[in-house]
Amino acid sequence: MEKITTIGLDLAKSVFQVHGVAEDGRVVIRRALRRSQLLEFFRNVPPCLVGLEACASAHHWANVIGQFGHTVRMMPPAYVKAYVKL
């Protein structure tokens, strides 16, 4: 697998969407993960920047993912809306 530099994480109740890109902007990984798979995924990925939408559970996930050495940044929902494709 190529080196992932940035991961976008869409938080949900049971199925989380993960979108990872390499340094040159190419999509390296695009995957749906169940809640039970999420921690194992971030444990096995080398430390990188993880962006997620600030919501009720975002602080919990930011703390847990940060323990694996990742840099976690939370964005306000208004900023995330620009990335949604209809």
Q: Is the pLDDT of residue 83 over 80?
A: no
Residue 44, both tokens: 């096995």
Is residue 46 a part of any domain in this protein?
Answer: yes
Residue 48, both tokens: 């990188």
- Our count of domains for the chain comes to 1
Q: Pick the residue with more confidence: 72 or 83? A: 72
- Residue 79 pLDDT level (bands cut at 50, 70, 90): confident
Range 60-77 average pLDDT: 95
Range 47-75 average pLDDT: 94
Question: 55, 77 in Cβ contact below 8 A?
Answer: yes
Is residue 86 a part of any domain in this protein?
Answer: no
Q: Is the pLDDT of residue 41 over 80?
A: yes
Q: Which residue range forms the structural domain that includes residue 56?
A: 6-78
Surface-to-core class of residue 54, CB atoms within 10 Å of its CB (0-12 exposed, 13-18 middle, 19+ buried)? middle
Q: Could you tell me the CATH number of the domain that includes residue 67?
A: 3.30.420.40
Surface-to-core class of residue 18, CB atoms within 10 Å of its CB (0-12 exposed, 13-18 middle, 19+ buried)? buried
Is residue 1 a part of any domain in this protein?
Answer: no
Is residue 85 a part of any domain in this protein?
Answer: no
Please tell me the distance from the alpha carbon of residue 55 to that of residue 22, in angstroms, as a whole number. 26
Is residue 66 a part of any domain in this protein?
Answer: yes
